[in-house]
Structure 1
Amino acid sequence: MIDPTLAPAPAHPAATAADATAGTPPAGVAYPKTIKSFVRRAGRTTTGQAKAFEDLGPRFVLPYKAAPLDADAAFGRSAPLVLEIGFGMGEATAHIARVRPNDNFLCCEVHEPGVGALLKRIGEQGLTNIRILQHDAVEVIDHMLAPACLDGIHIFFPDPWHKKKHNKRRLIQAPLVAKLAARLKPGGYLHCATDWQPYAEQMLQVLGAEPLLANTAQGFAPQPEYRPLTKFENRGLRLGHGVWDVVFVRRH
């Protein structure tokens, strides 16, 4: 799960994936036995968020079902489909959906105040191209998303798990990346962003080791125009903290 303001901690530039080999983790990074896309966090749902749940939840929150998703039916139209894993309080999600109205965004988040906050933004901004699954994204990927069904994937500021002994809990690990790559259409993209140097290095290594993916840049990518700077991120940049984007595409 993403921290409510989209960015959990500062970071600095990292290395390339040149030393990574297919199917092997970065040095010192073990794979968890079970991948989870989130960590339960405390938080209270505000009155406004609760009202958004009541008013907009039936339309924009999809029930989890262990069956392939009919995206056209869920969105009421046929359009490119982008999966977002962990959207925090939905600030960037709403912005991207607004500037890319021709794309559909399927967004996974278990943090109830975050879901309520995004629903509130949907109502305030009149957005129609977002659907939310309040469920573990790994199970959504495994059971609801068919191979080659996605045009894009966004993973912005996942929990960096700063301590080395906790690195195995990081979301970006080879087993999950393999699942994601398989669900991208040829030419589809996987966009990750972090502001924590060791995690940025791991992202480049793990994505670079996935044979179905190719980096769009020599190392880190320029920040795509659609990804906004959040208030937290702007504050970090003023303090000299870096933010790094990693963008890979599914090979044809």
Structure 2
Amino acid sequence: MNNADIPENNSANPEPAAENVAAGNDRRPLKSEFDDDLDYPRLGSVGFRRGTLTENQEATWEANWPRLGRELSDEFIDVPAWFGREGSRTILEIGSGTGTSTAAMAPVEAGNNVIAVEIYRPGLAKLLGAVVRNDIENVRMVRGDGVEVLNRMFPEASLDGVRIFFPDPWPKARHHKRRIIQSGTLNLIASRLKPGGVLHVATDHAEYAEWISELVNVEPKLEYMGWPWEDCPQLTDRQVITKFEGRGLDLDHTITEFLWRRTSD
């Protein structure tokens, strides 16, 4: 790892998280340390489904991941070089799951560079397959924890948008500290967004929606725009119902969406 590229407010644990992920260990302990007294998701050694890929998925992965995917590291991503074009807007989707929304939205926003972040390899494999089958040119993928990727692989003011669709609600009170929407995460996202950049969050969990509602004004660099926002410069129509969204709708859950704009200050 190249520690020279770690942002100043971050001190990475020397344990090689990228190597753990590459070896198939789908755990996502937080490796960065922040000294701003804000709250960040603390997941410790929580394990996630590892899963296996089909033979076709493995073949697609071997042939295409080196070009379309990255593993978590301490090296900033050169987005124009990766996508092979200059001047395009860049949107980071944290927790892309199986990539249903990502793949469906990509053709509608062909002018945007979309980077999907997910720790679950089978989910990335499904998205990778859709990208290859449909000749989608504006999607790339990073395997790793969303907070870590955001903190360690993107410099300040480098993103035009961040999306977090249906994050794990961690419904038990003792697990609330694991939720990704926290004051520290909002501060980190704000630092990575360009002025005017957009944060879009959606959840179908009523109590999590209340949690987020209490945090909409906690970060001074993010201006809460509510929902809907007619003049939003970023696509907000998710095009398709995702698996998790569908499950929520089947249970008569209400989808709650939030939009923020990065201030110019």
Q: Same fold (TM over 0.5)?
A: yes
Counterpart residue number, 1:248: 260
Where relative contact order (Cα < 8 A, 6+ residues apart) is larger, the structure is 1
What SS does the corresponding residue of 2:215 show, helix, strand or coil? helix
In structure 1, which of residues 201, 205, 228 is the aligned counterpart of residue 240 of structure 2?
228
Quick check: 1:55 aligned with 2:68?
Answer: no
Residues 122 and 128, structure 1, Cα contact 8 Å, conserved in 2: yes
Residues of 2 paired with 1:162 and 1:201: CA distance? 12
Matched, 1:212 2:221: yes
| CA–CA distance in structure 2, aligned partners of residues 95 and 82 of structure 1 | 15
Question: Greater shift after overlay, 116-125 or 58-67?
Answer: 58-67
Taking structure 1 as reference, are residues 143 and 56 closer, same or farther at Cα in structure 2, changes over 3 Å only?
same
Q: 2:120 aligns with which of 92, 111, 118?
A: 111
| 1:88-133 deviation digits (Å, cap 9, x = unpaired) | 1111111111211000011111101011111101011110111111
> CA deviation digits over 1:210-233, x for unaligned, max 9?
10111212xx44793245322553
Q: Could you tell me how far 1:44 is from its partner in structure 2?
A: 2.4
For the 8 Å contact 1:82–1:152, the answer to whether it is kept is yes
| CA contact 1:46–1:113 (8 Å) conserved in 2 | no
Q: What amino acid maps onto 2:223 in structure 1?
A: A
- Please give the alpha-carbon distance, in whole angstroms, between the structure 1 residues aligned to 2:40 and 2:96: 22
Partner of 1:96: 105
How far apart are residue 135 of structure 1 and its match? Answer: 1.7
Match status 1:200 vs 2:209: yes
1:139 Cα offset (Å): 2.1
Instruction: Using the TM superposition, give the Cα deviation of residue 64 of structure 1 relative to its aligned residue in structure 2, in angstroms.
Output: 3.5
- Over the matched positions of the two proteins, sequence identity in percent amounts to 36
Going from structure 1 to structure 2, the CA distance change for 1:138 and 1:35 (only over 3 Å counts) comes to farther
Deviation of the 1:235 alpha carbon = 5.3
- Equivalent in 112, 117, 120 of residue 129 of structure 2: 120
Partner SS state of residue 211, structure 1: coil
Residues 1:160 and 1:236: Cα distance change in structure 2 (over 3 Å): closer
Amino acid in the other structure paired with 1:60: L
CA drift of 1:234 comes to 3.9
Q: 1:235 to 1:109 in 2, by over 3 A?
A: closer
Preserved CA contact (<8 Å) 2:40 2:180:
no
Is residue 35–residue 176 contact of structure 1 (8 Å, CA) maintained in 2?
Answer: no
Instruction: Return the offset for 1:60.
Output: 0.3
TM-score (norm 2): 0.76
- Listed as ranges, the matches of 1:154-193 within 5 Å are 154-193=163-202
2:70 counterpart SS class: coil
Whether the aligned pair in 1 keeps the contact of 2:41 and 2:182 (CA below 8 Å) is: no
1:70 to 47, 63, 78: 78
TM-aligned CA deviation for residue 238 of structure 1: 4.8
User: What is the CA–CA distance in structure 2 between the aligned matches of 1:251 and 1:117, rounded to whole Å?
Assistant: 36
- In structure 2, list runs of 5 or more residues that go unmatched: 1-35, 230-234
Letter paired with 1:88? G
Q: Deviations over 1:46-87 (max 9, x none)?
A: 233222202211210124331222110111112100011111
C-alpha separation between the residues in 1 aligned to 2:161 and 2:40? 25
Distance 1:201 1:94 in 2: 29
Shift, 1:136, TM fit: 2.0
- Say whether the 8 Å CA contact 2:200–2:257 is kept in structure 1: yes
Match of 2:27 in 1: none
| Counterpart check, 1:81 vs 2:54 | no
